[in-house]
Amino acid sequence: MAILHKRETPLQHTGLMVAPMDVTLVRWPAEIDRRDVLVEHNAPRLLLVEDGSPPPPAEDCMEDWIRVPAAEADVRVRLEALAARAARHLTLDPRGGAEALPDLDGDGVLRFASSWVPLPPVEARITRALLERFGSVVSRDALSRAGWPAGAPGRNALDVHVLRLRRRLIPVELVIRTVRSRGYLLEHATEARGSVQKDA
């Protein structure tokens, strides 16, 4: 079984293929400054934690770590998982850059950039429906079906939960906008501030 050592990276280790998405390998704590730059640029990175050193707290969902020396297969699995996560979180920006997308995990934790917020089950289901069409309008009927698959408990149930959800999303800098007679859309708070149409 091949082993990745402290001063090796998978690129230097013969026979180890890196994942298609560019994941940067960072020796920790030796390359702490390099890691800070990658965090600032929202770049996916795998920290190679030297034996005996504690891993740093995760800055965002674009980071993972593995202790070295490590088996080649273990490193490959971490690289592929991180690359897949990065691909879900990054979408092509028309100006040529990469734009981070929010992520909602199976436990109802919504992450965006370096912030996160836990969501109750109903609000998590509504958020998931909004995330599936991030930046686009989702109808009230579609959101009601997502929040209450067996049927909404009352006529104003969706309005109440959207109001609560708007407050919960403030720390992660996301906003839900009302599009009159059509439904709601979820977007970055910065985009909402620059938009002409206001929430109803």
SS (H, E, C) 106-153: CCCEEEECCEEEECCHHHHHHHHHHHHCCCCCEEHHHHHHHHCCCCCC
The tens digit of pLDDT for each residue in 135-158 reads 889 999 999 999 999 988 887 999
Residues 125 and 186 in one domain: yes
Residues 74 and 118 in one domain: no
Burial letters 22-58, b for 16+ CB under 10 A, else e: ebbbbbbeebeeebeebbeebbbbbbbbeeeeeeeee
User: Where in the sequence is the domain holding 126, given as residue range(s)?
Assistant: 102-193
Q: Is residue 198 part of a domain?
A: no
Task: Write down the residue that tokens 């698959």 correspond to.
Answer: 149
Please give the chain's pLDDT, 200 residues, in tens.
444 544 444 443 333 333 346 899 999 999 999 998 888 877 889 999 998 899 888 767 788 899 999 999 999 988 988 887 777 666 544 333 445 678 898 889 998 877 899 999 999 999 999 998 888 899 999 999 999 999 888 879 999 999 999 999 999 989 999 998 889 999 988 755 544 344 43
Q: What is the mean pLDDT of the chain?
A: 80
Residues 73 and 150 in one domain: no
Q: Which of 92, 111, 133 is the last residue of a domain?
A: 92
The tens digit of pLDDT for each residue in 56-67 reads 887 677 888 999
Q: Is residue 76 part of a domain?
A: yes
Contacts of 183 (CB under 8 A, 6+ apart): 137, 138, 139, 140, 142, 143
Residues 106 and 71 in one domain: no
Specify the pTM: 0.51
Residues 106 and 88 in one domain: no
Domain count, the chain: 2
- Parallel, antiparallel, or unpaired for β 3-4 and 70-71? antiparallel
Residues 118 and 63 in one domain: no
Residues 187 and 123 in one domain: yes
Residues 81 and 149 in one domain: no
Residues 174 and 137 in one domain: yes
Q: Is residue 87 part of a domain?
A: yes
Residues 186 and 106 in one domain: yes
